[in-house]
Structure 1
Amino acid sequence: MKLLKTIFLTTSILSTSVSFACLNGAEQNLSTGTTLYIDREGYVPYGHDFWLDLEGRDLEKLDSLYQVKPDVQYLTEKGLVLIIKKEYQKAIDLYLDIEKKNPNQYSTASNLGTAYELIGDNKNALKWIERALELNPDSHQKSEWIHVNILKIKLGQFPLSSNSLIHTDFGEEDYPKTELSKVKLEELIDQMYFQLNERKSFVEPKDEIVAQLLFDYGNALLLIDKKAEAKEVYEMALKYGFNSPLLQNRLELASVVEKESSSFQKIITNHWDTILISIISVVAFIFVLNRKNKKGRNK
């Protein structure tokens, strides 16, 4: 029985691929039953994968639901649909009307800030994102302070830098460094991920602020040994317009380790049956040897 347990455990270990994933993979659904978006799991911010039917049926359904039961949630969801459809001014008008009827709602302030930013009105965007932060400082993984900094950079109130964006930097050496504790670094990673995932859903390359934030995020991932993910994020930073010798050096570091890791995983993948048979043979040999030793002692 112990032998069978050992073989089962060994088989399970070898047949499970090595992967890293944080608690992403978020999904948001409308009251109509339609999936608004699904996020991919992992540390790399790809942006939302929108599943929404853009032909207007969900808008009609939400209007019908509101007629039956005048719940502000239906209007809030309608505003989200309008934003995804890039009908930003309609979304702004709707949310301003919601604000008059139901003031001081976090979701209204947050969505107004987003819609204003998407039409280029950064002054009003900052006003509403700061209001959202006051109403619910814990929302969006406590990351809205980064959004505030982004808008202040856009308005020329702050220079574009790591310290202006995330209140820290990761040094000028080839390998990033930080004075943040492990807990604080992980919190910052969650916050940067959230802001980047939202931003990449709507902001196309090239964008210098997204590029800078991606570079900082890649540095943070490198520090927690997520090298393959850091490599992909650095490549995104390049695509968004961030280019410097420092990024190239860190990208090379992430690429070298990724190749070493990939080579090891390739060996396991290509020869797992041989490795498994070898381990089973060793376990079986030890089992038989132990049986013989027991019989010898019992004579």
Structure 2
Amino acid sequence: MKALRMFAALALLSLAPAALACINTVGTDHSGRKFHPNWYVGTELTASMRPYKVGPNNIWVRNVIERSRKWPDFESLNDLGVVLIRQGKYARAIEHFLTVERIFPGHAQTAANLGTVLELSGHDRVALRWIRIGMQRDPNEHYRTEWLHARILEAKAAMAADPDYLKGRSITGVSFSADLVPPLPTKLPAGNDGRPVALWQLNHALSYQLSERTSFVAAPDPVVANLLMDWATLNLAGGPVENAAALYDLAVRYGAPRDALMDRRQAYVREVLAKAKNGPAPRDIKCGICQPAD
């Protein structure tokens, strides 16, 4: 979804000026070593993860509407549908994307957008069908993270039949030990292509899908809380511990229980950061969940 990716980038640029230095951000691993994760860290990571809509006077909205009137091709009509989603006009967006599918059939973006707006309208099972169609049309859709969207919809369908379905379950399909600092999971879920994802791909999927989901879904929400708990623990085990602390806090805001284990882990993060405050300069260390350099 080109327009949604563009809008997400604009949202990130709307962060406070201090957050714009994210390219050079320093993170700390659970042993206290500093490194460059090359992405947002800590509260900078979670600052933009909040619901928002766009108004009719938004410059992006005006440009999309003008372009779709002048050149009603697939791209402009797709973007117009995204405007409707961002404005919360879900019924009109569904009708619009079904029309786009009839005029320009077979596009992965249409299927993904239909899956998104159908879910936002409460039609999770139909949404899942369209998300799967989108993955079939293009396995690279949404940077190969749509497997996680499908798992979310599968979980929501199960929750409709059993409200306690999420108790003791991970939507992502990973499990962590109850150790203070758990090891990274070795059993990983299947990605868009049906093969197990790498750890960095799991991290990327959680980052991408949660960044979009939290722009639509307000707290509390058990699905978002479940995903945030896994993402926080993943960062504790193999990423910047600053992220773990911020994501645990956001998970609590979305309804996750602040239990004794979370308290111990956040206390440990504070200890690690206090000791590392005046430590050596960042080093080129191996980050367990960071994308490998090309």
TM-score computed with the length of structure 1 as normaliser: 0.69
Name the residue aligned to 2:221. 207
Distance of 1:220 and 1:136 partners within structure 2: 28
Give, in angstroms, the shift of residue 118 of structure 1.
Answer: 1.0
Distance 1:122 1:209, change over 3 A: same
Going by fraction, where is helix more abundant, 1 or 2? 1
- Select 1:42's aligned residue among 40, 43, 54: 40
**Aligned length in residues:** 237
* CA pair 177-55 structure 1, distance change in 2 beyond 3 A: same
Residue 160 (1) aligns with residue 166 (2):
yes
| Corresponding residue for residue 258 of structure 1 | 273
CA distance, structure 1, for counterparts of residue 178 and residue 224 of structure 2: 20
Query: Which deviates further from its counterpart, 164-173 or 55-64?
Result: 55-64
Q: CA deviation at 1:48?
A: 7.5
1:134-160 deviations in Å (ceiling 9; x for gaps): 112222232111111111111117932
1:174·1:246 contact (CA, 8 Å) conserved in 2?
Answer: yes
Between the aligned partners of 1:232 and 1:57, the Cα distance in structure 2 is: 32
1:190 corresponds to which of 204, 211, 232: 204
Q: Secondary structure of the residue that 1:28 maps to in structure 2? A: helix
Q: Does 1:170 align with 2:176?
A: yes
Structure 1 runs of 4+ off > 6 angstroms? 48-51
- Name the CA shift for 1:36/1:86 in 2 (closer, same or farther; >3 Å): farther
Residue 247 of structure 1: aligned partner:
262
Instruction: Tell which has more relative contact order, 1 or 2 (C-alpha 8 A, sep 6+).
Output: 2
Residue in 2 that maps onto 1:7: none
Cα distance, 1:130 vs. partner? 1.3
C-alpha contact 1:169 1:178 (8 A) present in aligned 2: no
How far is 1:255 from its partner?
Answer: 2.2
Map Cα deviations across residues 111-137 of structure 1 (whole Å, 9 max, x no partner): 111111111111221111111111122
CA RMSD of aligned residues (A): 3.2
What whole-Å deviation, never above 9, does each CA across 1:174-211 have from its counterpart, x for those lacking one? 22223439992222111111111111111111111111
Question: Which residue of 243, 249, 253 maps to 1:235?
Answer: 249
Q: TM-score, normalised by structure 2?
A: 0.70
2:131 counterpart residue number: 129
Specify the alignment match of 2:25 in structure 1. Answer: none
Higher Cα Rg: structure 1 or 2? 1
The alignment-based identity, stated in percent, is 27
> In the alignment, which residue of structure 1 is the partner of 2:234?
220
Say whether the 8 Å CA contact 2:248–2:262 is kept in structure 1: yes
Deviation track 1:17-37 (CA, whole Å, cap 9, x = no partner) reads xxxxxxxxx96169xxxx864
Q: Which residue of 1 aligns with 2:93?
A: 91
CA contact (8 A) 1:27 1:37 kept: no
Stretch moving more, 74-83 or 42-51: 42-51
What amino acid is the match of 2:174?
T
Separation of aligned partners in 1, 2:153 and 2:217: 14
Q: Which whole-Å CA distance do the structure 2 matches of 1:86 and 1:165 have between them?
A: 26
2:178 counterpart of 1:180: no
Instruction: Write the letter of the residue equivalent to 1:28.
Output: M
5+ residue gaps, structure 1, are 1-25, 269-299
